[in-house]
Copies of this chain bind each other. A is one copy, B any other.
Amino acid sequence: MKILVTNDDGIASQGIYALVQALRKIGDVTVVAPDRQQSAVGHALTVSEPLRVTHIWRDRQFFGYAVSGTPADCVKLAVARLLDQKPDIVVSGINHGYNTGINVLYSGTVSAATEAMLLGIPALAVSLGSFDEQADCTVAAKTAAYLVERYHTFGLPATTLLNVNVPALPESQIKGVRITRQGQGMWNDTYEERLDPMGRPYYWLRGIYNHLDSDPNADDVAVERGYIAVTPIRFHLTDSDAMEQLKKCL
């Protein structure tokens, strides 16, 4: 099985390293990942500038290709240029921090999986509930390998990808896997105003995420309760009911 691995924390992160170690046991892994942290880039593409590719070595062996772009760029460039053949599956992660609820829209991790789906490739995004760069990724990596091996048995439509969120808990404390839906929530934004050394203002985003869901089948509720949340995601964006409504008005 040919597996393309990418992420949004950058090719040097611990999360992608743990993921690659786990997936190398079950397939032929190629890593094509951003050369630096790309969090919250959403589905951005680099179109006004060219991309650079650097070969990265870890543990004295070739680890993968670092790309001067976004996660979606990495998938596009890998499939169009760097790989000899289309991968069987794309795995994006392991992200440091959950990508649940509305954060799916901001997530570079999920956007890489989305780009794979758009290119007709099965995909999953894997995120861990900890921002600690040294957090133990074992459970998340094992979960990813488990899902990759069984992916073809799930019978998912080609337009659907899996968004997987794993609590940062020891394996013994994980309560199981739950099939979830995207939870409801919203960010309360504040921008901190600071002054630079010249006395000029600048603004820094500090958001607080408000969970608005208590349904145990919501992804963010499931992870809080100690379950691995597996959410099937698709981008059928048209609001058909609103179409009918609008036809009466316009």
Using a CB–CB cutoff of 8 Å, the interface residues on chain A facing chain B are 37, 39-48, 50-53, 72-73, 76-77, 79-81, 102, 104-106, 111, 114, 118-120, 150, 153-157, 160, 177, 179-182, 186-187, 189-191, 193-194, 200-205, 230-243, 245-247, 249-250
In the complex, which residue of chain B has the Cβ closest to the Cβ of A218?
Answer: B238
Q: A80 and B189 in contact (CB under 8 A), knowing A39-B47, A42-B45, A238-B182? A: yes
One complex includes copies of this chain to the number of: 2
What is the bound-complex CA distance between A250 and B201, given in angstroms?
A: 52
What is the bound-complex CA distance between A186 and B114, given in angstroms?
A: 13
Which one of B102, B180, B235 contacts A118 once the chains associate, using CB atoms below 8 Å? Answer: B102
In the complex, which residue of chain B has the Cβ closest to the Cβ of A45?
Answer: B40
Contact across chains for A205 and B237 when beta carbons are under 8 A apart? no
Contact across chains for A41 and B39 when beta carbons are under 8 A apart? no
Which one of B177, B203, B234, B247 contacts A50 once the chains associate, using CB atoms below 8 Å? Answer: B203
Contact across chains for A230 and B205 when beta carbons are under 8 A apart? no
Contact across chains for B154 and A245 when beta carbons are under 8 A apart? yes
Contact across chains for A191 and B80 when beta carbons are under 8 A apart? yes
Which one of B40, B47, B238, B239 contacts A157 once the chains associate, using CB atoms below 8 Å? Answer: B239
What is the bound-complex CA distance between A62 and B104, given in angstroms?
A: 37
Contact across chains for A39 and B50 when beta carbons are under 8 A apart? no
In the complex, which residue of chain B has the Cβ closest to the Cβ of A201?
Answer: B53
CB distance from A7 to the nearest CB of B (A): 16
CB distance from A120 to the nearest CB of B (A): 8
What is the bound-complex CA distance between A111 and B204, given in angstroms?
A: 20
The residues of B that contact A119 with a CB separation of less than 8 Å are 186, 189
6 pairs from A and B in contact (CB 8 Å cutoff):
A52-B203, A77-B203, A105-B235, A156-B239, A179-B246, A233-B239
The residues of B that contact A191 with a CB separation of less than 8 Å are 51, 76-77, 80-81
